[in-house]
Amino acid sequence: MKLNIRKLESKDWDILCGWWKDWGFENIPAKDFLPEDGKGGLIVETEEGVGICSIFMYTTNSKLCQVNWPLSNKNFRNKEIKNKAFDLLMLGVENMWKTSGGKYLVFYGSMGTNKFQERLQNIGYIKTDVNCSALVQKF
């Protein structure tokens, strides 16, 4: 199966919200909480346009980019294709950031993202912290 990767677009927002709901997220992040109002990331889909997985990229004015909110289509059940899609997604993140002159990628995740963290460690990410907390203040 051929997979396509592309930058997130406005038309993807409802799809991503559906994925969050399918995974039981009670508090879907607001668009303005996400990079580029929900368009600052990548999505992988089948050549028929069925979305498989996505991630957001918080770019900075340094050489560091934070990748966060890995998300997948819970109803896409082909694990082999889904694994390939996640591999393509992270390769796309890496290529996009390198092309922009970036040097470092960082991911912060909760215990619920252990499988994704293992995937990142398998492609060269180094686990530096455990038992971290994220604190957010909204104005």
* pLDDT band with cut points at 50, 70 and 90 for residue 98: very high
Q: In the predicted model, what is the mean pLDDT of the chain?
A: 91
Whether the pLDDT of residue 99 is over 90: the answer is yes
- Residue predicted with more confidence, 136 or 41: 41
Cα–Cα distances in angstroms (integers) from residue 49 to residues 44, 52, 100, in the given order:
9, 9, 27
pLDDT at 136: 74
Tell me which of 22-26, 68-72, 125-129 is least confident: 125-129
Backbone angles phi, psi at 23, to 5 degrees: -85, 0
Q: Identify the H or E element spanning 106.
A: strand 104-107
pTM: predicted TM-score of the whole model, two decimal places: 0.89
8: pLDDT strictly greater than 70: yes
Exposed, middle or buried: residue 66 (CB in 10 Å: 0-12, 13-18, 19+)?
Answer: middle
pLDDT in tens, 111-137: 667 888 888 888 888 888 877 767 676
Mean pLDDT of 67-83: 94
Query: What number is the average pLDDT over the span 51-64?
Result: 95
> Hey, what domains does the chain have and what are their CATH numbers?
3-122 (3.40.630.30)
